[in-house]
Chains A and B, each alone.
Chain A
Amino acid sequence: MPRIHVQVQTEPFDPTHESTLLLAGHPDVGAMASFVGLVRGDGGLCSMELEHYPGMTESMMTRIAESAVSRFGLLGCTIIHRVGRLTVGAPIVLVLCTAAHRGTAFAAVEFVMDWLKSRAPFWKKEEFSDGRIQWVQPREQDAHSLQRWEDGQGDSPGIASPSSPAPPSKAE
């Protein structure tokens, strides 16, 4: 039975501890790939505030993990995402994928990150050393990164594309 663990938390995560939990009872694992995203301090950025939509976030993270497990035949998947105020260098997100072989483990981590970037309801507000504050805008690249997974294999997370609501008819 593949092990899936998703969590939203303010406190830091411990990748070693999470790896141990994911591997326990799985002697069939031959590869574990991991990704840690950090607060990047460019452009005078000193911290960021992450907010999310409690409830929906966890359910989207679970769906993304489940579809990664199904698509890549993973033996386990952990996704931990932090919220609250995080300073430069702080870890934001941890993804761990375990599989029999490295190819699927590597690919699954990218798959999870691409879906997380575009479908999990988190928002970042950047705070700069000169006092400026701004909400992060989505990058076009993130939407493009998703497209490579939409190849009709039928095991995408089954998430309706959150396309923008079109304007109400101007005739109204």
Chain B
Amino acid sequence: MPDILYFAWLRDRLGHDREAMVLPSGVTRVSDLVSVLQARGGAYGEIFGQPELVRVAVNQSFATLDASIGPDDEIAFFPPVTGG
């Protein structure tokens, strides 16, 4: 089952840095997962209802909403990066 990771203020707001999730049937793309997370409501609803605040990586590479996801993937959500 895929691991979903959260970093920086997303993690602070959600209260945990990772979760394992069985992808519901029909969830084959990042956009589907964003919808599922938004539907949880609460902090999830607020964050994933404003996806312009969020960046995503699939298997440690930047990805877009239409990227495919599957049961063995590592999917990470985080704010825009601020290193350097």
Contacts and interface: CB of A to CB of B under 8 A. Distances in A.
A112 B83 CA distance: 12
Interface in A108-135: 113, 116-125, 135
A93 B83 CA distance: 9
A52 B83 contact: yes
Contacts of B65: 165-166
Which of A118, A122, A167, A172 has the most chain B CB within a 10 Å cutoff?
Answer: A167
B60 A120 contact: no
Interface residues of B, number: 32
Interface in B41-84: 49-57, 60-65, 76, 78-84
Interface in B1-52: 5, 7-9, 30-31, 34-35, 38, 49-52
Contacts of A53: 5, 7, 57, 60, 76, 78
B82 A138 contact: yes
Contact of A121 (B7, B30, B38, B63): B7
Interface centre among A119, A121, A125, A172, by most chain B C-beta atoms within 10 angstroms, is A121
B62 A162 contact: yes
B8 A123 contact: yes
A30 interface: no
A167 B83 contact: no
A172 B35 contact: yes
Contact of A160 (B8, B64, B78): B64
A37 interface: yes
Interface in A35-52: 37, 50-52
Residue among B30, B78, B80, B84 with most chain A CB within 10 A: B84
Contact of A56 (B35, B51, B60, B84): B60
Nearest to B30: A165
Interface of A: 37, 50-53, 55-56, 59, 81, 92-93, 113, 116-125, 135-138, 142, 159-168, 172
Given A160-B63, A162-B80, A167-B50, 13 more contacts: A53-B57, A81-B83, A116-B84, A120-B83, A121-B57, A125-B8, A135-B79, A137-B80, A162-B56, A164-B54, A164-B55, A166-B51, A168-B34
